[in-house]
Amino acid sequence: MDTSVNAPRPLLSVVVPCYNEDPVIAETARQLRMFCDSVAADTDTELVFVDDGSRDSTRSVLKLLGEQDARIRVVGLARNFGHQIAVTAGMDAARGDAVIIIDADLQDPPDVMRLMLAKWREGYDVVYGTRTERPGESAFKLASARQFYRLLNKLSDVPIPLDTGDFRLMSRRVVDVLRAMPERDRFVRGMVSWAGFKQTALPYQRAPRLAGVSKYPLRKMLRFATDGILSFSTKPLQMAMGLGMAAAAVSMLGIIYALWLRVFTNIWVEGWTALMIAVLFLGGVQLVCVGILGEYIGRIYGEVKRRPLYVVQEYVGYQARAQEPLF
Ligand code: UDP
Ligand code: MG
């Protein structure tokens, strides 16, 4: 990057998805503003808060902050669209030469952003935070997340870094690649890996949530994990095929055995148990395979409808944008 005196000052956008973050949002904004002040010598900053349809006072707090600080912009979505879509809306609204995504609960320490910025200046396009420790999370969440990232990597066609969340810096060209990807089951961290360019890891210690509760209950975690796997791999389909073939092979043995009994012995009336096992086993295999197919077809259906990814109810701090269509 050109860092000579006459070069225009780079603009850094910090995108913060927020959903019912009432207990922490004011403190988060305070710390992020402190960060902006601390880099103000050589970098311009904007804070893009995406309110993902919060039902508490998050939106009004954000709007108030936006009126006080010109660097703060708010994108208010029309309802809760989910974390990954909120991140996408933030990236669409961000205007920076580099964009950092950070959670609203201060689990990702704002200080790490300075190191990310330094790496970006060195010429990296993506600097992703890798969690070395995660105090304050349940043993179940840690174990399931660990296993998930390893499984995902086995299945995925592009390598996706282990133990890496969405806390990362991306250069403008990477953000533009992501914005050109229209898929709706968005798994942002995988999409960034797919984009390529020069990427590097930045290990950091993940703090416990400052206040409030996790917005990722088990159900959402499972959904998120399925999205990750199905958007980045067709291996489940191949596995379904493998399972079907294995079942067919076992059935073949059963058929030969049944014929052998019928032709060469006279005990062929018996065998209810074997019959039930065969029917249930084959039924199970078929349902699993149809289910896997169904997951993919459901996603195809979602894509085919071509709905916008999100609906913006209001922009705060975007005079120019307010006239544009909302999505
Ligand atoms: N979030 C969001 N929409 C949602 C769920 C979560 O914008 O539907 C935001 C949330 O406010 C937070 C970030 O996504 O800033 C990560 O969520 P959370 O901290 O609850 O997840 P965890 O850290 O427990 O995995
Ligand atoms: Mg969190």
Q: What is the ipTM of this complex?
A: 0.93
Residue 323 clears pLDDT 60, i.e. is over it: no
Q: What confidence category does residue 93 fall into, taking pLDDT thresholds of 50, 70 and 90?
A: very high
**Closest among 75, 145, 153 to 107, alpha carbons compared:** 145
- pTM attached to this predicted model: 0.77
Give the model confidence (pLDDT) of 269-283 as tens digits.
Answer: 667 777 777 787 788
**How much distance in Å is there from the Cα of 286 to the middle of ligand 2?**
39
Q: CA 199: distance to chain centroid?
A: 18
In contact, 102 and 83? CB cutoff 8 Å = no
Mutate to test the pocket of ligand 1, among 215, 219, 223, 227 (most ligand atoms within 8 A of CB): 215
Of the listed ligands, the closest to the CA of 50 is: 1
Residue 320 clears pLDDT 70, i.e. is over it: no
Residue nearest to atom 14 of ligand 1 (CA): 83
CB atoms within 10 A of CB 15: 28
Q: Region 207-227: what's the mean pLDDT?
A: 79
- Residue 74 bridge partners (DSSP): 49, 316
Beta strands 98-101 and 72-77 are unpaired
Of the listed ligands, the closest to the CA of 58 is: 1
Name residues contacting ligand 1 (CB within 6 A): 17-19, 21, 52, 80, 82-83, 86, 103-105, 107, 214-216
